[in-house]
Chains A and B, each alone.
Chain A
């Protein structure tokens, strides 16, 4: 924590954009916690491929949270809509092209995390956003929608669930309550 380090000579003033040299791409991570009803967006990881993305996601976001399911989606596979953009029109009935399956994620209010809302059939990303809006939101709620082709989601293999989710189960010393601290020293 160095949010209080004052500025000194030589420090970079403004930071522009991304450097081009990064090797590992970015993956968005979704976790369904034990007892949870849906996958919750859990920020991102960098990885060279899906398998490594799943492992990095486990090590980063599941050190304590007991997950029962883990998804990673390549950053580029997600189409994003928020309240500042015009809502795309649904392409309903406009043509007969095949309609793949999409997964929709909704941020219901500012400050809240994206939640997986369900699947929809749509012609393209714009159509998927429009349909997700109709299917999962009321008039007043929902400030942002993400959609991704269902085929772009890489889910942890159920056969590997033990490897992914169990290693932290027996490490009670990771919990604060493991330590006996007298109450008189105050909350810690």
Chain B
């Protein structure tokens, strides 16, 4: 069978495309871009939480947060590994990120000001990520789908530890409750922005959905997230900062207000509160690690020379 025909047959049958298969160049490029962005996001996403490891309120919280940040590093590596099956190298993708030619999720360009932000991130940011990633387990590219399955197994811990932090604060002193509310106020809208532009505005969405790279649209995922999250906020006794938020019995969904798209584009274009710091820190860490990477190679070469001598 003609390989192009075979590709379309695989997509139509909801089977997985695997690395050796013929694929349209657009399919390959879309996947590289999406998987790389996803990988970069996991890696940059370590910074806002890593910022609180030394200041976590107890030893237990410190161990939990460290484990979570370590997971995010692992997620980045699963995804770089998946991207490499498409014929790019990990170093190439890291270079493109450092040169500002590839992006990561804008959510990580917001600062973590208080301990409650760590709760809000686990609950909302990982929550939004899970919504997206669960849908992506059905993506048509085998290695990406398997990376998503692996990641989803680990994300439940992330969200639950975050929500538990929020529960403790919401049941705590007046001050702690205020801290929890403030974190929700600051992270709510950026979390909704994680799903991207409206379907009507999103330029790659159509082709991506035809290729079954993206099985569910931005707006549908956003709605799913809102529907799941509102009762969780109610349970905490916290108020979602959206005066237009209300249950719509007819639709069977919550209606909610419009995202501030000016803010969205400002942050995407590099003018969020933390864009500069995040990239500077990432590049610095990479450069500071160069001697380790080189020394490890020198050591390996020396040892294998000694062995063959």
Residue numbers in B under 8 Å from A186 (CB-CB) = 228, 231-232
Known: A26-B84, A44-B81, A60-B77. A4 touches B63 (CB 8 A): no
Minimal Cβ-Cβ distance residue in A for B202: A6
Taking a contact as CB atoms closer than 8 A, the residue among A2, A46, A174, A185 that contacts B232 in the complex is: A185
Q: Are A49 and B303 in contact (CB under 8 A)?
A: yes
**B125 CB → nearest A CB, Å:** 9
Whether B67 sits at the interface, judged by CB under 8 Å, is: yes
Q: Are B160 and A176 in contact (CB under 8 A)?
A: yes
- C-beta contact mask, B80-122 vs A, less than 8 Å → 1, else 0? 0110100111111101100011111111000000000000000
Q: Are B67 and A113 in contact (CB under 8 A)?
A: no
Q: How far is the CA of A47 from the CA of B296 in the complex (A)?
A: 9
Known: A23-B297, A173-B60, A188-B163. A8 touches B231 (CB 8 A): no
Whether B157 sits at the interface, judged by CB under 8 Å, is: yes
- C-beta contact mask, A58-86 vs B, less than 8 Å → 1, else 0? 01110110000000000000001010100
What's the count of A-B pairs with C-beta under 8 Å? 201
Minimal Cβ-Cβ distance residue in B for A173: B64
Q: Are B160 and A43 in contact (CB under 8 A)?
A: no
Q: Are B163 and A46 in contact (CB under 8 A)?
A: no
**A51 CB → nearest B CB, Å:** 9
Q: Are B40 and A12 in contact (CB under 8 A)?
A: no
Taking a contact as CB atoms closer than 8 A, the residue among A1, A64, A185 that contacts B132 in the complex is: A1
Whether A120 sits at the interface, judged by CB under 8 Å, is: no
Q: How far is the CA of A52 from the CA of B303 in the complex (A)?
A: 13
| Segment from B17-25, B48-56, B275-283 that makes contact with A | B17-25
Taking a contact as CB atoms closer than 8 A, the residue among A3, A15, A22, A52 that contacts B29 in the complex is: A15
Q: Are B296 and A52 in contact (CB under 8 A)?
A: yes
Q: Are A110 and B20 in contact (CB under 8 A)?
A: no
Q: How far is the CA of A14 from the CA of B214 in the complex (A)?
A: 19
Q: Are B157 and A23 in contact (CB under 8 A)?
A: no
Known: A4-B195, A15-B96. A176 touches B20 (CB 8 A): no
Q: Are B195 and A5 in contact (CB under 8 A)?
A: no
**A55 CB → nearest B CB, Å:** 11
Residue numbers in A under 8 Å from B41 (CB-CB) = 1-2
Whether A21 sits at the interface, judged by CB under 8 Å, is: yes
The majority secondary structure among interface residues of chain B is helix
Known: A2-B38, A19-B92. A12 touches B293 (CB 8 A): no
Residue numbers in B under 8 Å from A22 (CB-CB) = 89-91
Whether B179 sits at the interface, judged by CB under 8 Å, is: no
Indicate the member of A2, A5, A23, A49 with the most B CB atoms within 10 Å: A2
Residue numbers in B under 8 Å from A111 (CB-CB) = 15-16, 18, 142, 145-146
Q: Are B163 and A185 in contact (CB under 8 A)?
A: yes
Interface CB pairs A-B, < 8 A, 24: A1-B194, A2-B37, A4-B194, A5-B106, A8-B103, A18-B88, A19-B92, A23-B293, A43-B81, A43-B82, A44-B84, A49-B299, A63-B71, A64-B153, A64-B154, A82-B20, A110-B16, A144-B18, A174-B71, A174-B157, A179-B161, A184-B235, A188-B127, A188-B160
Seen from chain A, the residues whose Cβ lies within 8 Å of a Cβ on chain B are: 1-8, 10-15, 17-19, 21-24, 26, 43-49, 52, 59-61, 63-64, 80, 82, 84, 107, 110-111, 113, 143-144, 171, 173-176, 178-182, 184-186, 188
Closest 4 CB pairs of A and B: A4-B196, A2-B105, A18-B89, A111-B16
